[in-house]
Structure 1
Amino acid sequence: MPVEFSVHAIRWDRCPLVSLDVHAHAWLLLQSRRGLSSNTLDAYSRALERYLVFLKLARLGAISVTRADVGLYLAGLQAGEVTVSNATIQQRLTVVRLFHAYLMEEGVRPNNPAAQPGGGRAMVARHYRLPWIPNEEDWHRILAAARQECVRNRTMLAFAYDAGLRREELCSLQSSDIDPSRRILRIRAESTKGRRERAVPYSASSGELLLRYLEHRRTLGSKRGPLFLSESRRNYTEPISIWSWSKIVLQLARRAGVERFSTHTLRHLCLTDLAHAGWDIHEIATFAGHRSVQTTLLYIHLSGRDLSLKLAAGMAQIHARRVQMLAEVAQ
């Protein structure tokens, strides 16, 4: 039996139907060799498992499934008791489309039932919503709750905002990624969504928090490596996982009474604040590690008041110019 090499280990116990299906097994193994992050690979495996569960219950096969059958699968996702976001549905549709594209390439089936015909309507309409960011009252409540956190959690919160980090980028930071003399963080390509390394600054206040945390970290051990370590009995001195970090932030949000606050909120807020500070859109995209400026535009949150002020300032300039022109005509 050939060795199943993969960049990240696949949790076959979480996707038993995928592991037993020869084509699904081969496709997921192929994805693991593409260098996808462990989180993306896990999301792919869970999405494909859900699709295979649907096929099994409907007594359908991936080789013979039709576009109408895929439509029923998607309808079931949208009509379930648990609300599934549009982004999650889009992700699950992407997995189905990629899986059937693989089956086509392997000559197993002649077409892709999940593909979007040229110029035709998408199977699921894509929704674009502005990301939520806290108002001043929410922000002060979050800060009050954060003061009760340990020095590690406060340092992580500060870095998440200061450097606009995704949760995987934050939890994957290594001791060697820090340049304290210049206050620069190195975000390694393997921890980023777009697989692009970048260097980002952090503030003096975050640097002071970091020094306090490093003093505490030395009590856990002197070995270098992962920066933020777990202190739970089960995973003592192991790198803190993204799931543990999400749980910490969820508990903080509940204490603050700001339920919508999440691990990604600080990134949204950071990029929005940079826009308010007058940063160019391309500068913000580079800072955030976005491949496309269009992605950056979705993150930048200009309030209605901001836009009103911009409109008022612009109209005032136009009005002044028209008045000047009229005055010149009257001369």
Structure 2
Amino acid sequence: MPYVESNGASFQFMAPIPWGKFPTVAEHQLARQRLQFMANIGRASNTIDAYGRAVQDHLRFCAAEGTDPLLARADTVAFWIKSMLDRPIRRPSRAPWRAGTGLANATIQQRLVAVRSFYEYLVEDGLREQNPVRRGQLGRGGRRPLRRVEQAPWVAADIDVARDSAAGGATLHAGTVPAPTSPPPTSSRAAAD
């Protein structure tokens, strides 16, 4: 939609998006329109980047599964979530308790929000009847689905605890760590007494 100024000059306002980062989104007309709309209304560049990566990932998953994103169902989204949970991690994690596979919970949640937003856009424009990315509706059996994928907390291995205890005890007995002393006086007056 061109914007026409009073002097007759017209131009198309488009906030810049690095489409090279999201080639699949750039090729998909509706996904491209949605991301461009978000940029045009002033969303932060980091938000555009995160949403672009999320929709890019979802569109690629749909293509690999042979599913048209306009016809994707909740089970397609569930399989996509499963693929994110099972995906090998490309770079080593800074968190030693993380397993060797799967995206972090925060990443999965962020991607779900972005793809839910994309499908809401399609519903609002009448291109879909409902959003396949559900918002914690009651599932079968009346139980609420988990909002997050829970991970077990990190627990030190028994061998690590034994090694650290042995090392600490050895240095204490070897005299490298001073034995505890009585606490210092609390004031100069107490020291003079």
Normalized against structure 2, the TM-score is what? 0.60
Whole-angstrom distance in 2 between the partners of 1:96 and 1:123: 18
Asked if 1:102 is matched to 2:126, the reply is no
Cα displacement (A) at 1:36: 1.8
User: Counterpart of 2:30 in 1: which secondary structure?
Assistant: helix
User: Counterpart of 1:125 in 2: which secondary structure?
Assistant: coil
Whole-angstrom distance in 1 between the partners of 2:146 and 2:67: 20
Structure 1 residue aligned with 2:189: none
Cα displacement (A) at 1:99: 0.5
Cα displacement (A) at 1:43: 1.0
- Contact 2:138 2:145 (C-alpha < 8 Å) held by counterparts: no
Cα displacement (A) at 1:41: 1.0
- CA deviations 1:73-129 (Å, max 9, x no partner) are 00000011113110000000111111000000000010000022545634642669x
User: Counterpart of 1:90 in 2: which secondary structure?
Assistant: helix
Q: State the one-letter code of the partner of 2:125.
A: E
Whole-angstrom distance in 1 between the partners of 2:88 and 2:136: 31
- Unaligned segments of structure 1, at least 5 residues: 129-331
Asked if 1:5 is matched to 2:20, the reply is no
Whole-angstrom distance in 2 between the partners of 1:119 and 1:34: 34
Whole-angstrom distance in 2 between the partners of 1:117 and 1:72: 17
Structure 1 residue aligned with 2:45: 38
Q: What CA RMSD, in Å, does the superposition of the two structures yield over aligned residues?
A: 2.4
Greater gyration radius:
2
Asked if 1:68 is matched to 2:75, the reply is yes
Structure 2 residue aligned with 1:18: 25
Whole-angstrom distance in 2 between the partners of 1:62 and 1:71: 14
1:127 and 1:4, CA in 2 relative to 1: closer, same or farther beyond 3 A?
Answer: farther
Once the two structures are superposed, the pairs formed by residues 233-272 of structure 1 within 5 Å of their partners are: none
Whole-angstrom distance in 2 between the partners of 1:81 and 1:64: 28
1:38 and 1:125, CA in 2 relative to 1: closer, same or farther beyond 3 A?
Answer: same
Once the two structures are superposed, the pairs formed by residues 1-331 of structure 1 within 5 Å of their partners are: 3-6=12-15, 9-82=16-89, 83-118=102-137, 121-122=144-145, 124-125=147-148
Q: State the one-letter code of the partner of 1:36.
A: R
Q: State the one-letter code of the partner of 1:115.
A: R
Q: State the one-letter code of the partner of 1:13.
A: G
Q: State the one-letter code of the partner of 2:14.
A: F
Equivalent residues, number: 128
- Contact 1:116 1:123 (C-alpha < 8 Å) held by counterparts: no
Structure 2 residue aligned with 1:287: none
Whole-angstrom distance in 2 between the partners of 1:59 and 1:90: 24
Q: State the one-letter code of the partner of 1:84.
A: L
Cα displacement (A) at 1:30: 1.1
Whole-angstrom distance in 2 between the partners of 1:36 and 1:29: 10
Whole-angstrom distance in 2 between the partners of 1:114 and 1:60: 15
- CA deviations 1:272-309 (Å, max 9, x no partner) are xxxxxxxxxxxxxxxxxxxxxxxxxxxxxxxxxxxxxx
- Unaligned segments of structure 2, at least 5 residues: 3-11, 90-101, 152-193
Cα displacement (A) at 1:34: 2.8
Whole-angstrom distance in 2 between the partners of 1:73 and 1:123: 16
